[in-house]
């Protein structure tokens, strides 16, 4: 497998993990269980952290030439 394909698969998995954390935060917000082990902000914080990691990885991949942007996006 090429490094580009592996990188794209890792990015998709990270994005799915971000959506999963967002869903967990939604469930925590709707249930509003005071006996819960982790607050809603825990899941939202993880979502923000992984979003920042995705952006940093994309910038590194674009700068290193691993990914090439579309020259004509229109």
Q: Describe the crossing of helices 40-64 and 3-31 by its angle, rounded to 10 degrees.
A: 160
Take residue 66 and report the two structure tokens written for it: 């691993």
Mean pLDDT estimate for the chain: 89
Determine phi and psi for 27, rounding to 5 degrees.
Answer: -65, -40
Extents of the domains making up the chain:
15-64
Is there a contact between 39 and 28 (Cβ–Cβ < 8 Å)?
yes
Query: Model confidence over 11-45: pLDDT tens digits?
Result: 999 999 999 999 999 988 888 777 778 888 888 99
Q: Where are the alpha helices (DSSP H) in the chain?
A: 3-31, 40-64
């Amino acid at each position: 497998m090429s490094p580009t394909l592996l990188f794209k698969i890792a990015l998709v998995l990270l994005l799915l993990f971000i959506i999963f954390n967002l869903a967990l935060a939604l469930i925590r917000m709707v249930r509003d269980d005071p006996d819960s082990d982790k607050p809603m902000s825990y899941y939202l914080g993880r979502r923000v952290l992984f979003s920042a990691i995705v952006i940093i990885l994309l910038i590194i991949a674009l700068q290193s030439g691993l990914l090439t942007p579309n020259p004509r996006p229109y």
